[in-house]
Structure 1
Amino acid sequence: MGNTFTPPPEQRFKHEDSTFTDGEAGSNSNDTAILPKARREPRGLKWFLVVTSIMSSMFTQSLDNTITADLVPAITNTYNSTELLPWVSVGYMFGAFVSLLPMGKLYARVNNKYLYIANVVLFTAASAVCGAAPTMPAMIVGRVLLGIGGSGLYCGIMTLIATLADDHEVPLYFAITGVVWCIGTVLGPVVGGGFASINDSTWRWSFYINIIIGGLFFPIYLFILPSVDPLADQSPAPKTYERVRTFDWLGTLLLTGCTVCLIMAINFGGVLYPWNSGAIIALFIVSGVLGVAFGAQQRLAFFTTPEDRIFPVPLLGGRESALLFASTICSNAAALVPIYYIPLYFQFTRGDSALQAAVRLLPLIILFGTGNLVQGVFLLRVGYYWPWFFAGGVLALAGNLMLCTSSTGINSVPQELHGAVIDVLVTNLRKTFITASVGAGIVLLVSLLLKRVFVESGDQAQFPQEFKDNVEHVLTEKANGMFRWVHLQLEELKLKRTRLAILKALQSLPKDLEQTYENALNRIPEELREITFRALILIGFIPDSIDLTSVAEAAVIEPMRDTTFNPDSRFLHPAHDMLELLGSFVSVTSPWPFTT
């Protein structure tokens, strides 16, 4: 640390001479981790190329985290399949979660360079499978493989940086990795939406781009990236067969089963099956049983050894390491939920394009990346780590609480920034956003709405199935993820009584919500426009829900002229008549008395 102030022992980093002792880790000496002393190799230009190539892997891996946010409509149109749609996103998470711990153990047992190259090849091949997938099942297989490869890349990046960089450089390079991750995450929806907006097939290039980036840097991985064998210091070094034989296969199997059941239960519950259905309950129970079995197997080292088990059990024995483990889980949740769902919210509710949604996300990403860099630099100089956890936890808690409690009437980002990134997020999100966004495949809900409201009910249910499928295809294709847009078009199509009228309406659909609202306003009879205007103002200024009967009674009063109530101006059927006038502009939260 040179002349830098050295913090007290309880807050000090473990430097090159330090270890996790038995008291700290709760284990024997076999679990002791010693950080390397040697200066890194290579240096200069070769080191720059190595770091650049590693960061390119982080970029592609983070890009694929969010790239499907804008691709779901295009993928649905291509394969005409909604039943398997949740697995487009679930498949990636499944592959990543299942393989994360085994990958971490593999990097501690086999040559890091060759394992990293193998994951680059797997990730690239999986991208080719997704891009060229002829069917939805093929796409899902590709997404699972992408998750496995992405998990391997992530573990490899962290391992290579910690192994190759000098000890005092590691926090800075980790911070740079965080910045690259932020860039890839925010560009995911932009890249996906940009490719999808060209034509019906160019969305596949959202996956092909990984092949280009991987191929560009592959020679660096092959010829410049140093070869690191984590077990080279053992004499003699174990053979490949011995390393594979002693791998914790039972732990991996239990973890896989637990993760599969849990992910399926969370993502299918409330979407494909009710939460109280037998299938969802059974998945939760099986996941819990397998999770307990996995914990017991790891704790007792059953069919494995304390050195070979895939979960680092000793880390939970030390106070600091256990808190770090829990903090990492919480920080990832606090960061990933807003980053993934903010673009979806604006595209599905306000009709934003991919670029517009990404722009709204920029304040969060910019400050997130800046915070990573600042933390990485100052942590080296100060040495204290607890202030960062404390401040980060307070800000994350405050920001997410404001996301959950923000009202529906606050202006959007371009109109009111409030000077801070948390305020930016608050101005754009409403309370129902976090709740409504849980689950995969919002476009699946759009498709189900089409079937339920238009195809399976009403007079249109008598039309041939081919005609129904065509209507569903056209609306889904032109919706571009705008749930509200689809709802409004359905309300219009329900009024049509002939197939010819519906076909004509489909040919002249408004392109966005703004045009939809304009058309709806123009259809209001001239003599009712003033009443409609007063009703909208009344609903807009009342913070709570209000029934349409009360709105109808209040809207007939002309406050600028005569405030006396004229019974002759009342609607014959206040709630129904007001709903007919305002149906395109309000959301009904209860069927009676039509509360908005």
Structure 2
Amino acid sequence: MSSDVDANPEGNARPGQSVSVGRFLQIFSAVMLPMFLAAADQTLLATATPSIAAELGGLRDTTWVSVAYLIAITATVPLYGRLGDRYGRRDTLLVALAVFCAGSAACGLAVSLGMLVAARVLQGLGGGGLMVMAQSLIGELVPPRERARFQAYFASVFTLANVGGPLIGGLVVHHVGWRWLFLVNLPLCLIAGWRLLRLPRGSGNPAATPADPLGALAFASAVTVSLVWASFAGYRFGWTSPTGLILAIGSAVLWAVVITRELRRPDPFLPIELLRERSIRYLCLTIVSFASCLFALIFFLPILTQIGHGADARQSGALLLPMTLGIVAGSTVTGRIVSRTGRAAEMPIAGLSISCVALVLMCVLPPRSDLIAVLGALCGFGFGSVMPTAQIVSQTLAGRDRLGAAASAVSLSRYIGAALGTAIFGAFVFALAPGSAARIDPHNLAATTASQLSHAIRIGFGALAAVAAIGAWFASRVPRIRL
């Protein structure tokens, strides 16, 4: 096991310094809203899909509305990290906010499904920078030990946005229509921009590694093909069909090109210089494992309750609230423990172990609503330990001059985990359900009986428990740091 690491890289504020209440409110109010907007739009449309399909047509193809946003946001995360380090993090965040605002307006005005998908790509191109630059600004403006408190609050905001997205979306769609899910972003973006302008501008580092546009294009292509294959194989086309095989081979070739190019370039698009470090690799794998479990639960717990118990969309969305509260509690407790002890790396080990136990119990116990609520809260409590400490550890190991690259590595890991968890868990569950996986459509769940699909999802929870256990092992390989 690695020895303790001093967390006070040159140029950062000393650990003994503290952030005043006024300063805290200034930073929190400026950075929280962009983070909330980016996180909420990842899950906001879960309950709006039928309404969008009714107006624009093509229920089956509405999956692209979510996939397009996820592809764009995943592909741009490393780019924003580089741009923030080079040109200044506050100004880069303002640019990302403007792009996100323009994409939101285009989504609200879309008159066809194709236009909506294109607008979601534009929105995702801005959304990729909101989370990364928000996290980087915390590292720039807040001393290391104080970051634990900030990261706990922001992890709570992120979780509330992700898990509350389907419930908020259902209420908005029910009362005013799906277009307002996007149009409401416009005044919120203006407020966020005003608050950001009140923060210190900061200065970029002209000597920082510049962005690699060709690397960005290659990475975006690899991500696109991979997510299309992982999202649609098994029900839009068979895994071994010509389409499935072409996409799988194309994905492997594109990733080989990306990796080969990035390893040879002095200015790689991806944060290769960080990923070469063993501790950062294990940290990123921990985040991928955590995000895979979290997003699989966000999307499939409502399905379990709707199919297994006949709950409506609002009731199934409400069943996610215990998990949300558990994550908030876990994040808060983790932040306070780290602030008092100065030790961060141990928390994800315990947290993911707790989540593993909860997922095992979800697999073996009957899927009653009360048990799901209690176990969801326990699982969330364990998940709450990961992101606050991951940000602190990554920023500490990377150093002040590479805060943007560190934030992009963490965010990229989270988004990859979210995509893989949702897509692969879905493919796994519907493969276990009766009939050919190629004929089962996740958007037409009535074709599958309640008991059969419920059984498949519970087996899937057992697989997620294994993923959480692997994540805890990855976390145990990260060096212990002292803040």
CA distance in 2, matches of 1:44, 1:261: 47
Residues 171-207 of structure 1: CA deviation (Å, up to 9, x unaligned): 21111110001111222111111122236xx111111
CA contact (8 A) 2:324 2:380 kept: no
**Residue matched to 1:438:** 426
CA contact (8 A) 1:36 1:163 kept: no
Counterpart code for 1:336: F
**Residue matched to 1:149:** 126
CA distance in 2, matches of 1:384, 1:324: 15
CA distance in 2, matches of 1:419, 1:434: 17
Identify which of 176, 192, 196 aligns with 1:221: 196
Identify which of 356, 370, 394 aligns with 2:329: 370
Are residue 212 (structure 1) and residue 197 (structure 2) matched?
A: no
Q: Indicate how the Cα distance of structure 1 residues 266 and 149 shifts in structure 2: closer, same or farther if over 3 A, else same.
A: same
1:134 match: secondary structure: coil
Provide the aligned length of Structure 1 versus Structure 2: 410
State the superposition RMSD in angstroms. Answer: 3.9
Q: Indicate how the Cα distance of structure 1 residues 369 and 13 shifts in structure 2: closer, same or farther if over 3 A, else same.
A: farther
CA contact (8 A) 1:67 1:191 kept: yes
Are residue 133 (structure 1) and residue 92 (structure 2) matched?
A: no
Q: Indicate how the Cα distance of structure 1 residues 150 and 423 shifts in structure 2: closer, same or farther if over 3 A, else same.
A: closer
**Residue matched to 1:483:** 445
CA distance in 2, matches of 1:255, 1:482: 33
CA distance in 1, matches of 2:109, 2:372: 42
Superposition deviation, residue 347 in structure 1: 3.8
1:15 match: secondary structure: coil
Superposition deviation, residue 274 in structure 1: 1.1
CA distance in 2, matches of 1:225, 1:41: 18
Superposition deviation, residue 36 in structure 1: 5.2
CA contact (8 A) 1:334 1:400 kept: no
Superposition deviation, residue 380 in structure 1: 2.6
Are residue 163 (structure 1) and residue 150 (structure 2) matched?
A: no
Identify which of 298, 320, 324 aligns with 2:262: 298
Residues 372-422 of structure 1: CA deviation (Å, up to 9, x unaligned): 11112211322333421321232233333444x346x44222898479634
**Residue matched to 1:74:** 51
CA distance in 2, matches of 1:247, 1:141: 24
2:262 match: secondary structure: helix
Are residue 230 (structure 1) and residue 204 (structure 2) matched?
A: yes
1:321 match: secondary structure: helix
Q: Indicate how the Cα distance of structure 1 residues 419 and 260 shifts in structure 2: closer, same or farther if over 3 A, else same.
A: closer
Are residue 357 (structure 1) and residue 316 (structure 2) matched?
A: yes
CA contact (8 A) 1:96 1:151 kept: yes
**Residue matched to 1:268:** 232
Identify which of 386, 397, 421 aligns with 2:378: 421
CA distance in 2, matches of 1:378, 1:193: 36
Counterpart code for 1:279: T
What TM-score does the superposition give when structure 2 sets the normalisation length?
Answer: 0.75
CA contact (8 A) 1:161 1:173 kept: yes
Superposition deviation, residue 257 in structure 1: 1.4
**Residue matched to 1:412:** 369
Counterpart code for 1:231: N
Q: Indicate how the Cα distance of structure 1 residues 210 and 257 shifts in structure 2: closer, same or farther if over 3 A, else same.
A: same
Are residue 109 (structure 1) and residue 86 (structure 2) matched?
A: yes
CA contact (8 A) 2:13 2:142 kept: no
Q: Indicate how the Cα distance of structure 1 residues 158 and 40 shifts in structure 2: closer, same or farther if over 3 A, else same.
A: farther
Segments of structure 2 that go 5 or more residues without pairing to the other structure are 383-420, 431-436, 457-483
CA distance in 1, matches of 2:319, 2:247: 37
Residues 12-64 of structure 1: CA deviation (Å, up to 9, x unaligned): 342134xxxxxxxxxxxxxxxx6455999996646523321210111121111
Residues 465-507 of structure 1: CA deviation (Å, up to 9, x unaligned): xxxxxxxxxxxxxxxx7833x889xxxxxxxxxxxxxxxxxxx
Are residue 186 (structure 1) and residue 163 (structure 2) matched?
A: yes
CA distance in 1, matches of 2:313, 2:376: 24
Counterpart code for 1:135: S
CA distance in 2, matches of 1:53, 1:275: 45
CA distance in 2, matches of 1:74, 1:339: 20
Segments of structure 1 that go 5 or more residues without pairing to the other structure are 1-7, 18-33, 426-432, 443-448, 454-480, 489-512, 514-538, 545-596
**Residue matched to 2:223:** 259
What TM-score does the superposition give when structure 1 sets the normalisation length?
Answer: 0.61
CA distance in 2, matches of 1:424, 1:393: 9
CA contact (8 A) 1:11 1:384 kept: no
Identify which of 263, 281, 290 aligns with 1:322: 281
**Residue matched to 1:283:** 247
CA contact (8 A) 1:13 1:383 kept: no
Counterpart code for 1:310: F
Q: Indicate how the Cα distance of structure 1 residues 208 and 41 shifts in structure 2: closer, same or farther if over 3 A, else same.
A: farther
CA distance in 1, matches of 2:188, 2:93: 15
Residues 102-124 of structure 1: CA deviation (Å, up to 9, x unaligned): 11111111122221111111111
CA distance in 2, matches of 1:355, 1:42: 40
CA contact (8 A) 2:215 2:258 kept: yes
Q: Indicate how the Cα distance of structure 1 residues 64 and 344 shifts in structure 2: closer, same or farther if over 3 A, else same.
A: farther
Q: Indicate how the Cα distance of structure 1 residues 330 and 208 shifts in structure 2: closer, same or farther if over 3 A, else same.
A: same
Are residue 51 (structure 1) and residue 51 (structure 2) matched?
A: no
CA contact (8 A) 2:32 2:157 kept: yes
Which segment drifts farther, 129-138 or 43-52? 43-52
Counterpart code for 1:275: W
**Residue matched to 1:400:** 359
Q: Indicate how the Cα distance of structure 1 residues 383 and 417 shifts in structure 2: closer, same or farther if over 3 A, else same.
A: closer
Q: Indicate how the Cα distance of structure 1 residues 297 and 184 shifts in structure 2: closer, same or farther if over 3 A, else same.
A: same
1:109 match: secondary structure: helix
CA contact (8 A) 1:413 1:424 kept: no
CA distance in 1, matches of 2:379, 2:8: 36
Higher relative contact order (CA 8 A, sep 6+): 2
**Residue matched to 1:337:** 296
CA distance in 2, matches of 1:424, 1:227: 36
Q: Indicate how the Cα distance of structure 1 residues 389 and 419 shifts in structure 2: closer, same or farther if over 3 A, else same.
A: closer
Residues 195-252 of structure 1: CA deviation (Å, up to 9, x unaligned): 22236xx111111221222122322223x021122216x6xxx9xxxx8xx5312211
Q: Indicate how the Cα distance of structure 1 residues 247 and 410 shifts in structure 2: closer, same or farther if over 3 A, else same.
A: closer
CA contact (8 A) 1:70 1:193 kept: yes
Counterpart code for 2:128: S
Residues 417-437 of structure 1: CA deviation (Å, up to 9, x unaligned): 479634999xxxxxxx98996
Greater CA radius of gyration, 1 or 2? Answer: 1
**Residue matched to 2:3:** 10
Residues 266-321 of structure 1: CA deviation (Å, up to 9, x unaligned): 112112111111112111111111212211212121xxx2xx32222233333322
